[in-house]
Amino acid sequence: MRIVKLIVLVALAYTSCANAQKKEPKYKVLGNDMIKATYYHENGCVAQKGYFRGGKLDGEWIMFAENGKKIAIGHYVEGKRNGEWFFWKINGTALREVTYSNGQLVNVIEWSNAKDISL
């Protein structure tokens, strides 16, 4: 049983982003002038993923730290931030909720907690 656990741990280590090589951005055409984009950190972990429509940021975008932890999520509409955006501190104990309307900052709420509040 110990051998099986060791094999699983070694396999996970090789598939983690920290051990990956630098990757080039990936783009996938989805139709309706929509393109899904994925960008990577130098260490191979995903840095950002989201969508373009008509050459502008459009739809959900998610950003990640180099360790793979989510640090931001929100939506773009025709290249402008819109609606609720959430920004996490890397340690996961604080969350900033930011509201945008047509690219303009409307409101900021800072949440904090001693426990991890990651999504």
pTM: 0.75
Produce one character per residue of 50-72: b if its CB has 16 or more CB atoms within 10 Å, e if not.
Answer: bbbbeeebbeebbbbebeeebbb
pLDDT at 4: 34
pLDDT, tens digit, for every residue of 99-109?
A: 999 999 999 99
Q: Is the pLDDT of residue 1 over 80?
A: no
Look at residue 10 in the predicted model and tell me its pLDDT: 33
Q: Residue range 106-115: average pLDDT?
A: 81
The residues, ordered by sequence, that sit 6+ positions from 3 with a Cβ below 8 Å of its Cβ are none
Check pLDDT > 90 for residue 24. Answer: yes
Tell me how far apart the alpha carbons of residues 17 and 46 are, in angstroms, rounded to a whole number: 8
Q: Which two tokens stand for residue 104?
A: 């303009």
pLDDT in tens, 64-86: 999 999 999 999 999 999 999 99
CATH number of this structure's domain 22-112: 2.20.110.10
